[in-house]
Amino acid sequence: MNTSAIVLLLISGTLHNLPDLRSSLFGGYDAWVADFHIWTGVLFISFPALILARTKGALLRNLRVRIFKDPAWHWRRVHLILTLCACSTQATAGIMLLLDIYVPLNITLADALFMVHRTGAWYFGLSLPLHLWMARRAITRTLRSWVT
């Protein structure tokens, strides 16, 4: 679910930041694209919280084992840590940029938040193939359960 949200956030964020591309595809509609980006971001933030509540701590125990108990420092562990950090940083920067509409931030802080948000988007865009490769077995298992 979050992978789908990331893809939609990358597309809507790109359209929001490239007005010429957006106007050639949609004829404008920046407010619609911005609202879509905001609500997809809400989904991106709320879905992990819902999953954590639903699993009653099993997911946190699984993450703790994968991150702290595994003696080997390998690429899966690095990717997991970087992705968790990027998710929390993206969510925080996105919320603060959204709140900037209502409570104006210092321009230097707003620029820094925008740079953090854009850097996180690049990280997600570049690491998405790696993430899908790592989750290929779970994706296949889920898709097969839907078909049968």
Q: Taking the CB of residue 2, how many other CB atoms lie within 10 A of it?
A: 16
Which two structure tokens, joined as six digits, stand for 130? 């790696």
Q: What is the pLDDT of residues 84-99, one digit of tens each?
A: 898 899 999 999 998 9
Q: What is the pLDDT of residues 44-80, one digit of tens each?
A: 888 888 888 888 888 888 888 888 877 777 777 888 8
Please tell me the distance from the alpha carbon of residue 128 to that of residue 134, in angstroms, as a whole number: 10
46, 22 Cβ separation under 8 angstroms? no
Q: Domain of 64?
A: 2-147
Which two structure tokens, joined as six digits, stand for 83? 């992705």
Please tell me the distance from the alpha carbon of residue 119 to that of residue 75, in angstroms, as a whole number: 21
Number of domains in the chain: 1
pTM (2 d.p.): 0.75
